[in-house]
Structure 1
Amino acid sequence: MIYIISPFENDFESRGTRNLSLYKKLVETGESVKFITSNFSHQNKKKVNNDNFSKDINYKIIDVTPYHSNLSLKRFITHIDFSIKLYLYLYKVIRDGDKIIVSSIPPEMIFVLSFLKKKKHIEITLDVRDIWPDALPLGGLKKKLFRYYCNIFYSQCNKRVDNITYVADSFKSKWVDRYCPSLKGFFLPLGYDESRWYNPKNRKVGDKLKLVYIGYLQSQFPLTEVILAVNNMLDVEFHIIGDGENKRKYKEISSDNIIYHGNQSLEKSAELVTSCDVGILPIGGNAQMPNKLFDYLGASLPILSIGDTDSSKFVCENNIGWISDFNTVEIKKVISIVKNSIEDKVINIEKIRAKYSKEALYDKFIDVLKD
């Protein structure tokens, strides 16, 4: 049996689908798979009725206490609650030879799984998709305490983890070498879903250049400079798909050409993104190659990558967009010239697009699990 542990990613959430894609691929290859998740929606900050989960997925749904803010004590209580219940469940059902796939966040999960491995002959694959403690926007004493907290929970990783994957090149030096130095690991980007994204042919830019951002409106992906750059530009629309803690602040500084669509279903958000011309990717935190990068690839959208990140390097190396600093004047200057080169960027996207689908990428993951 293979257990995929994914407390806040499931078919109900219109967020990342990496674990769901892995689940489906494993089932297609004849594996027995259990998908362990929670009944709490991180995106909507509320509990989900079990009846809302797909009956086509072999779920174990763990009831957890809710939280209302990403930066709150209650969030860590939820993580601990889930992890303790996860341990108690797995201790009863897991058998020698079973395999576990688990994300590196929240860190409490890998901590309890390390203790489980002391008692059971199991294999653990750790998927490094975000790097705590670096990723959370904390400073001063809170940052020191959170780093200490994470170091405690990650202390057993190097001894207990068998395989490790990471979604951005820089995560190798920033996280893997720090917590799992004995493991080489391998680079496995998030990728896009072929079933979700269709590849429009002969896309033409209209009278108005349509920019789009998709994702949670949080400080790790700051939009302030982009909004100020395009405010009142008569030949530009900026479409924002998603919700979050910064939405009200952004609306207060937005002119009429900034259009907010809120949270949308996976299908509707794909339709909206594909109808636009350029994907906006501002990264101000420690995210490097997030889901939205591959959403834009899936939609064959050239990318304006803002910030010094793995995504900006990827955009430059493949000549599939433009880069900028978080400078309103520079962003405005780049946006003013993109129309003339969109077609060339799309041609370059077509050269690399296919190899970054989840269907193409995750075969490697399956091979590692079956070795």
Structure 2
Amino acid sequence: MNNLHINLNELTNPSRVLKQTKSLTDSGIVKKLYISGLYKDGLDENYIYDDGRELKRFPLRSRKLSKNFFVQIFKYLEYCFKVYQFYKDKNIGMVNIHTLGLLPLGLFLKYMYKAILVYDTHELESETNGKKGFRKKLGKWMEKSLIKHVDMTLVVSESIADWYAKEYNIRRPSVIMNAPNKRELKVNNHFRENLGIRDNQIILLYQGGLMSGRGINLILDAFKARIDDKVVVVFMGYGGLEQDIKSAANTYHNIFFFPAVPPHIVLEYTSSADLGISLIEKTCLSYYFCMPNKLFEYAMAGLPVLVSNMKDMSELVVRNNMGAVVSDFSASGISQAVDNFLDQDLTNMKKNAYQVACDNAWEVQEQKMLAAYKNMFEQKGIN
């Protein structure tokens, strides 16, 4: 069958979508796979990944209008219309939506295309950071109303699977974690070579989106207050807090900024650090239940990790002795946690982290995902 994956973003760094779609085409589960997203200046409107997968970014006439709620609805409807029109003759047999906002479109296409509908969540969709008030209530109502019409739901952590099953009284979704492909454990030195960091300094790496809710300001405050430079922090990524980090890096000798690198080489840079840090803040239930792909990227590079006490993430770290959990979520608490971390057996933690990464690598997640699809097809009598 032909498969359509629909997204409500520009797909500038679609690592999870690309891994999933490649697995689906390589396995032969789908014949032709289409990926849909939003167009933005500077990006390719059309892109062919390989013989089985092609991307279409749709330009919207309404894109430059205001972000007023009702204007946003108009933009959404324009996108939905374009997606429906473009793919209606492509013999789509399965539609995958990758965010809560696309549930109405997904359900519409399910019946118009007579297709299977897969709700492929990237987080706890109705409980995300910044979602509140009327929009949160609307999203929750929409998800609760429509999710029972979905043929299969996929989630990224065990707690999120439990939540969906209990909250909506549905069959427990399959858990497909966003982990990198397995790679040989090797060490690189890109940060020291490019940033002038000494060999005797320990590099603590923050890798990912530079935005609120990730403990970035606390990490900055912690390192601004540190007296020695035995441990330095490198921020690698992009986002709204990038300028704050660059300003701090220009002032403090133990803070560094490194721009984001393409997904296919990111682990080459991750393996240039000594420790990883992921301080997700409990600003929403989705964050509390999260299992970040960055955690597995650190681990696949053999980095012991320092994490906040988010449920699934901290339990994984403690259970496998692959790092430490920050108990005092303040600048001074983070600084103390860094110092305490250095007193641990980091060699053993490095080994444990890499083993956890291999045990949960995409090759493992891929088999779980393909099994979920095959089970769904069997239940529907599809060969």
Based on CA coordinates, which of the two structures has the bigger radius of gyration? 2
Whole-Å separation in 1 of the counterparts to 2:267 and 2:187? 15
In the TM superposition, 1:1-371 aligns within 5 A as 1-7=1-7, 13=12, 15-30=13-28, 31-40=30-39, 46-50=41-45, 54=49, 56=51, 58-65=53-60, 79-94=76-91, 98-103=93-98, 105=99, 107-138=100-131, 143-178=132-167, 180-194=168-182, 197-200=183-186, 206-231=199-224, 232=226, 233-254=228-249, 255-284=252-281, 285=283, 286-287=286-287, 288-324=290-326, 325-340=328-343, 341-371=345-375
Q: Which runs of 5+ in 2 are unaligned?
A: 190-197, 376-383
Partner of 1:34, secondary structure, is strand
1:268 is displaced (CA, Å) by 4.5
1:32 is displaced (CA, Å) by 0.6
1:212 is displaced (CA, Å) by 0.6
Counterpart amino acid of residue 208 in structure 2: G
Counterpart amino acid of residue 26 in structure 1: L
Instruction: Work out whether residues 210 and 240 of structure 2, in 8 Å CA contact, stay in contact via their aligned partners in 1.
Output: yes
Instruction: Work out whether residues 235 and 256 of structure 2, in 8 Å CA contact, stay in contact via their aligned partners in 1.
Output: yes
Whole-Å separation in 1 of the counterparts to 2:164 and 2:137? 15
What's the RMSD between the two structures over aligned residues? Answer: 3.0
Partner of 2:127, secondary structure, is coil
* CA spacing shift, 1:346–1:269, aligned 2, 3 Å: same
* CA spacing shift, 1:82–1:175, aligned 2, 3 Å: farther
Whole-Å separation in 2 of the counterparts to 1:258 and 1:247? 13
Q: Tell me the alpha carbon deviations over residues 2-61 of structure 1, each in whole angstroms, 9 at most, x when there is no partner.
A: 424142678x73x341221122222222331313222436xxxx4512366545552241
* CA spacing shift, 1:200–1:77, aligned 2, 3 Å: farther
Partner of 1:133, secondary structure, is helix
Partner of 2:125, secondary structure, is coil
Instruction: Work out whether residues 3 and 34 of structure 1, in 8 Å CA contact, stay in contact via their aligned partners in 2.
Output: yes
Identity %: 18
* CA spacing shift, 1:151–1:80, aligned 2, 3 Å: farther
Whole-Å separation in 1 of the counterparts to 2:159 and 2:199? 37
1:348 is displaced (CA, Å) by 1.4
Whole-Å separation in 2 of the counterparts to 1:294 and 1:28? 23
1:275 is displaced (CA, Å) by 0.5
1:289 is displaced (CA, Å) by 0.8
Partner of 2:342, secondary structure, is helix
1:72 is displaced (CA, Å) by 7.3
Whole-Å separation in 1 of the counterparts to 2:19 and 2:360? 13
Tell me the equivalent position of 2:192.
none
* CA spacing shift, 1:27–1:78, aligned 2, 3 Å: same
* CA spacing shift, 1:24–1:55, aligned 2, 3 Å: closer
